[in-house]
Structure 1
Amino acid sequence: MNTTEIFLIAMLIIFSLPYLVWRLGRTDYYAPLVVVQIVAGILLGPGVLGAAFPDYYRFVFNPQVITALNGVAWWAVMLFVWIAGIELDLRQAWAHRRESGITAGLALGAPLVLGCVAAIAMLAVPGWIGPKAERWQFVLGVGMSCAVTALPILILLMEKLEILRRPIGQRILRYASLDDIAIWGVLALILLDWQRVGKQAAFLALFGLTSVLLRKLMLRIPERDRWYVGLIWLAACAFGADWSGLHFMVGAFLAGAVMDSHWFDQAQMDLLRHHVLLVMMPVFFLSTGLRTNWDISAGGGGGGGFAAVFLAAGWLLLASVVGKLAGIHAAGRVLGWQRGEASLIGWLLQTKALIMIIFANILLDKAVITNATFTALLLMAVASTMLTVPVVTPMLRRLEAVLGRSG
């Protein structure tokens, strides 16, 4: 078979396997399709499919096919992060700045601290820290991975739970939006390269100048042209960020963050996000799965397989869940929330899949973490996201009065 035919076989597997598991297994309650796609990506990776059927794995996922899949995955994730940046609405956060600042700060800070403690413990075992990382970069990167909330997936889950447009849903979006800004800021700090700081400063200065010009241009052109100009802007910012050493996904987020959501029709934006998730993101999930590794010796350590990676994932999940709930409960006490309100918000903010995976992909690309650490973080993100709906659904039945509170 030629490369095109093998590529299409890979695409057939990528789209059919997760769908069949999701639909026939009726997993939607605890594992939405997006989570099943992420898990399928892990199973199709070298640690599972590659270990069980190495010849078939090498045939389907040969270097030429992987290169083609990576190209689709890069553009898919850039679009997804760009949309997430556009959808940030900081005006509402500013209007409720005391409540939003306290809640977002504690929701991010507590799991960040516990995640950093977990990362320090992991440093005692060789094989987790990447070959190009300083210890502080590893600790801060893993700690922030435990603190991440995935805003786009949070939106999808709250739509499913029918609370997105209710006051409680809008409050949670405010908290997650502020944390999103902090997450990308910390990532930029981790990626700061003193050998390339001149390039990075030049990119940020040029980005600031051109952002002002872009905003003026967007107000003067019709909406149908804004979509196309936005894509040109996305490609340019992603290139500039990657050229400077910050990573193309940081550029993609910045490209969206300086754009206003009201420039675009909200229904069309929702459809674009839906179509990117439907048509392109499954390829990203597969390419993510191809990067998993279950042997910490592969990172330069002293050995260990499934048990070590699952133990690390459980350790990180504990830090993430306990930290997020502790932070939100502390905010609830300060702000005088009703009984059960903090638990509801805390569990919804546990949603990590996608943004955490994107974050971890960047850390892996920059050799801050090893493939084994990446696999542990991936498992943590999946488990954290799968907990959300089963835990929150019974809470919603008991907390109807809370759902109408606007802050």
Structure 2
Amino acid sequence: MTINEFYLIALLIIFALPWLFWRLLRTEYFAPLVVVQIVGGILLGPGVLGAAMPEYYAFVFRPEVIGMLNGVAVWAVMLFVWIAGIELDLSQAWKHRRETSITAGLALGMPLLLGSLAALLILRWPGWQGPEGATWQVIVGLGMACAVTALPILVLFMEKLAILREPLGQRILRYASLDDIAIWGVLALILLDWERIGRQLVFLVGFAIATWLIRRLMVRLSQQDRWPVGLIWLALCGLAGDWSGMHFMVGAFLAGVVLDADWYGHEAMDRFRNVVLLTIMPVFFLSTGLRTEWDVGGTVVFAAAAALLLAAVAGKLIGVALAGRILGWAKGEASLIGWLLQTKALIMIIFANILLDKQIITNTAFTALLLMAVASTMLTIPMVTPMLKRLDALKGRDA
């Protein structure tokens, strides 16, 4: 067989098995297709399929095939992060800055604090800190992973719940948008490399100048031309971000943040996001699963994931509850918002991938974070659906 045939077998597995599982078992209520694909990536990785069927795993997922898949995965995640950056609407956050800053600050700060405390506990045992990671980087990285809200998946969930365009949905988007900015800012701080600080300063100054130029150019282009120019801008920023020592995904996110969604049209951007999710993001999920390892033992990994999950859930709920008390929200509203902000899959996985790429955390720590992200995301819909039925008035409908 040729290497192309092995590659196509891998693609067939990646796209067929999760979809069949999702469709036949009707898991949509607690595990949308994107979550099933992430779990499928874990199951197809070396820790599960590789351990159960090592000969078959080595037959299909040979190094050449993994290299080809990783190339697709890099571009897929760059596109996804770029879209997430474009979709941030900070103007609404500024318009409601008191409410947004209080809620977003507490929704981020409390799980960050509890997650950092959980990280301190986990680091008492070896196997979690990468060779290039300082202790503070691992603690803050794991803590921030507990605080992440995945804005694109949150949008998909709120569309499913029919609250995206309602006042409640728009409020939640403001909170998540502000937290997204903070998350990437903390990541940039974690990745700050004092040996390459000169390059990073050059990147920031160059990016500021290039942003002014690209924005002036975009307003003069037709919508048809904005798409290819936007992709060129994405590749350029990703390259510059990686050259500076940050990460190509930091560059990709910044490339999207400085562009306006109105230039592309919200409906067109929704369609493009869904196409990326359907066509190439499953390859990223598989490449993520290929990085999972159980070097310190499965029980220990699950225990660490459970500790991080507890910190993430409790921190988010406590933080939003404090915000609700300060701002005088209706009874039950804070709990509903807190559970919706639990959505972590994708952005947290991307965040953890960067920490792993930079060798700040180990594959074992990455596996624990991946399990935590999947569990947190799967809890969202089952917890929120009955709450919405009790708080139907919050969606602007008649009771």
What is the CA distance between 1:63 and its match in structure 2?
0.7
Which whole-Å CA distance do the structure 2 matches of 1:166 and 1:96 have between them? 16
8 Å Cα contact 1:338/1:402 also seen in 2:
no
**Cα shift readout 1:65-116 (whole Å, capped 9, x = no counterpart):** 0000000000000000000000000000001000000000000000000000
8 Å Cα contact 1:145/1:377 also seen in 2:
yes
Which whole-Å CA distance do the structure 1 matches of 2:353 and 2:303 have between them? 20
Segments of 4+ moved more than 6 angstroms: none
Per the alignment, residue 358 of structure 2 pairs with: 366
**Cα shift readout 1:325-377 (whole Å, capped 9, x = no counterpart):** 00000000000000000000000000000000000000000011000000000
Structure-to-structure mapping, 1:43-54, within 5 angstroms: 43-54=43-54
Per the alignment, residue 317 of structure 2 pairs with: 325
Per the alignment, residue 226 of structure 1 pairs with: 226
Counterpart among 287, 311, 331 of residue 303 in structure 2: 311
Per the alignment, residue 341 of structure 2 pairs with: 349
Q: Which amino acid aligns with 1:170?
A: Q
Report the secondary structure of 1:149's partner residue.
coil
What is the CA distance between 1:322 and its match in structure 2?
0.2
What is the CA distance between 1:265 and its match in structure 2?
1.5
Count of residue pairs the alignment pairs up:
397
8 Å Cα contact 1:153/1:353 also seen in 2:
yes
What is the CA distance between 1:402 and its match in structure 2?
2.2
Which whole-Å CA distance do the structure 1 matches of 2:29 and 2:394 have between them? 23
Per the alignment, residue 183 of structure 2 pairs with: 183
Q: Say whether residues 1:395 and 2:393 are aligned partners.
A: no
Which whole-Å CA distance do the structure 2 matches of 1:100 and 1:203 have between them? 30
Which whole-Å CA distance do the structure 2 matches of 1:383 and 1:402 have between them? 27
Report the secondary structure of 1:196's partner residue.
helix
Per the alignment, residue 299 of structure 1 pairs with: none
8 Å Cα contact 1:102/1:331 also seen in 2:
yes
Per the alignment, residue 235 of structure 2 pairs with: 235
8 Å Cα contact 1:79/1:276 also seen in 2:
yes
Per the alignment, residue 336 of structure 1 pairs with: 328
Per the alignment, residue 126 of structure 1 pairs with: 126
Report the secondary structure of 2:149's partner residue.
coil
Which whole-Å CA distance do the structure 1 matches of 2:152 and 2:219 have between them? 26
What is the CA distance between 1:401 and its match in structure 2?
2.0
For structure 2, list consecutive stretches of 5 or more residues without a partner in the other structure.
none
What is the CA distance between 1:122 and its match in structure 2?
1.0
Report the secondary structure of 1:221's partner residue.
coil
**Identity, % of aligned positions:** 71
Report the secondary structure of 1:220's partner residue.
coil
RMSD: 0.7
Report the secondary structure of 1:28's partner residue.
coil
What is the CA distance between 1:174 and its match in structure 2?
0.1
TM-score by length of 2: 0.99
What is the CA distance between 1:404 and its match in structure 2?
3.3
Q: Which amino acid aligns with 1:80?
A: F
Which whole-Å CA distance do the structure 2 matches of 1:245 and 1:68 have between them? 24
